[in-house]
Chains A and B, each alone.
Chain A
Amino acid sequence: MFVYALRRILYTIPIAIGVSLVCFALIHLAPGDPLSSVIPEGASAEMIAQIRTAYGFDRPLPVQYLKWLGHVVTGDFGTSIMTRRPVLAEVLPAVLNTLTLASAAVLFGFALGCLFGVISGYVAGTPTDRSVAAFSITGVSIPHYWLGMVLIVIFAVNLNVLPATGMGEGGSGSFGFNWDSLQYLILPALTLSVIPAGIIARAVRGTVAEVRKQDFMQTLYAKGLPGRRVFVHVVKNALPAVLAVMGLQLAQLLGGSILVETVFAWPGTGFLLNNAIFTRDLPMLQGTILVLAMFFVLINLLVDILQTAVDPRIKRA
């Protein structure tokens, strides 16, 4: 177990380096000069050369990469071209907001997915089972950014019971656990939850049906255990796999919330990315992508190690 965890952690290092390399390369893939938004119009050649030197863009690429990596490792992600503030200072609060949204969405999705998944796992092959399957296919097929618009039309425009966009009065970025803040979270979280709900429902259904087919189930019923006590055994056996799916979904949503954040003007990383792209604020773009990708790598690592720790049946080489 410890050997596996150690190996898995060590294996993450080259992946993390690769990810940073991709983030670095992204900027140099950009058509045109990456400094085009900094250099004022009609600047002299001398001035352009000066700016290039100031940003270190006159060095060879490998040197630039190593220098950049050195800064990143010490927490210096550069300065936003638009706001002139350190990138990290902008990204971290946004990551927190996205994490709030994504966690709420995964919890919603987990509750819905488990409910539907357990029901259909118990009645595999019946019409109920098929309608749950239809539900989970709907969850993964629906363009969630569109669902967000539909929910705004229903709950904010027609019924007028929930706010349409933003994260609080006056667009404040601080989130608290009271109705004033939570009412802003409901619609975006619900919108974002349809994908994990569909995927978790499918995973739970599969695992529950699988567990119920095993021989020890017969034994439990044969020795006279009531259904609800058998259910505890089903849950115990199905949980590790389902928790892993949930963890991976949380990781996917961290990077996948950009569309929903745009619809609901949620001040998270997606919102930040969108702004950075359209103002061609490349350090900002690079920083946000790197932070999100690193979160993704870390969560994947945690899920893998936790799953191995929780479920002794998983023996990894």
Chain B
Amino acid sequence: MSQTSIAVAGLGAPLKGKRPVTRSFWQNVFRRLTRDPVTMICLAILVLIIIAAVFAPLIAPHDPYRTSMARRLIAPGDARYWLGTDELGRDLLSRLIYGGRLSLFTGFTPVLLATVIGGTLGIIAGYLGGAINMAIMRVIDIFYAFPSVLLAVAISGVLGAGIGNTILSLTLVFIPPVARVAESVATQIRAQDFVEAARATGAANWRIVSSHVVPNVTGPILSYASSLISVSIVLASGLSFLGLGITPPEPEWGLMLNTLRQSIYVAPLNAVMPGVMIFITSMCFNLMSDGLRSAMDVKQ
């Protein structure tokens, strides 16, 4: 918008030197997010956890793998082992710091993969419609017909423990819901006049998809996918908790919770510690996802 057009519009004296600010949708979303205190606090906490995980070798006070029968299950508040030790005498604080690496990785990767794969499938199904839509969405419906935890446990249980299998099973769990969101939005977009107009001007399918469908579908998909991160972190740790995810002796919050569970009567504080980390992380992702959703709500 230029100054002249405003003057022409009859607003009286032209604005002096100051152009009216126009922001894109995403710039607006970003602005609202940075002004939302809850989102910013959660972001700060998550950044701290991520930095600690990435620079774990520099930050962790002890070797997370070194066991000692002599100092098993020291209570939190110890001068040398601040958060105490686990059932094999390993420093809990160091293991919690290192644990963020696998817990965040196995929680985040499935959502990323499912967003890309499910989003693509949904857009293809929604935009092309007809028989292709039928074929894709009915297969999606079948996987959607399983309770999510059951599907994750079944696939991991059959394939066996391990990082790769955990990520694979969670990705399969998250593809159907993402694809459904993408498909329903893409179907709506396809019926819009501007898509018709683009087609009338001779735009090829890929151009319509890349310049009209994808930009319009991205918002709803991102908003939905962001809400999955917290679910994914809880589920990934849950699989390790069942012994179906990460294998010992790797430090991972869910697995730590699993092995420390045996000591729950002896050292309850130590035993529940890893769960606090899962809770904080999942809560922060959820609150941020909520912030993103309201920042993207244009009606506000």
Contacts and interface: CB of A to CB of B under 8 A. Distances in A.
A18 B278 CA distance: 35
Given A22-B143, A30-B159, A141-B234, A157 B149 contact: no
Chain B interface size, as a band, is 35 or more
A232 to B, nearest CB: 30
A142 B282 contact: yes
Contact of B261 (A141, A149, A289): A149
Contacts of B145: 15, 18-19, 293, 296-297, 300
B157 A285 contact: yes
A143 B147 contact: no
B146 A146 contact: no
B153 interface: yes
A26 B155 contact: yes
Chain A interface size, as a band, is 35 or more
Contacts, number: 139
B158 A140 contact: no
A256 B148 contact: yes
B242 A259 contact: yes
Contacts of B154: 26, 273, 285, 289
Interface in B209-256: 230-231, 234, 237-238, 241-244, 254
Q: Identify whether the interface residues of B are mostly helix, strand, loop, or mixed.
A: helix
A138 interface: yes
A278 B265 CA distance: 25
A156 to B, nearest CB: 9
Contact of B275 (A21, A27, A143, A254): A143
Q: Identify whether the interface residues of A are mostly helix, strand, loop, or mixed.
A: helix
Interface stretch (B65-73, B77-85, B283-291): B283-291
Given A22-B143, A152-B264, A273-B153, A143 B238 contact: yes
A170 interface: no
Contacts of B230: 140-141
Contacts of B265: 157
Contacts of B148: 252, 255-256
Contacts of B35: none
Interface in A221-279: 251-256, 258-259, 262-263, 273-274, 276-278
A153 B273 CA distance: 12
Contact of B279 (A14, A18, A141): A141
Interface of A: 14-15, 18-19, 21-22, 26-27, 29-31, 133, 137-138, 140-147, 149-150, 152-153, 157-158, 251-256, 258-259, 262-263, 273-274, 276-278, 285, 289, 292-293, 296-297, 300
30 contacts: A14-B138, A21-B142, A22-B146, A31-B159, A138-B283, A140-B230, A141-B230, A141-B234, A143-B254, A146-B257, A146-B272, A146-B276, A146-B279, A152-B264, A252-B147, A253-B147, A254-B147, A255-B147, A258-B149, A258-B242, A259-B238, A259-B242, A262-B241, A263-B261, A273-B153, A276-B157, A277-B153, A285-B158, A289-B150, A293-B147
Nearest 6 CB-CB pairings of A with B: A255-B147, A146-B275, A255-B150, A18-B142, A277-B157, A256-B149
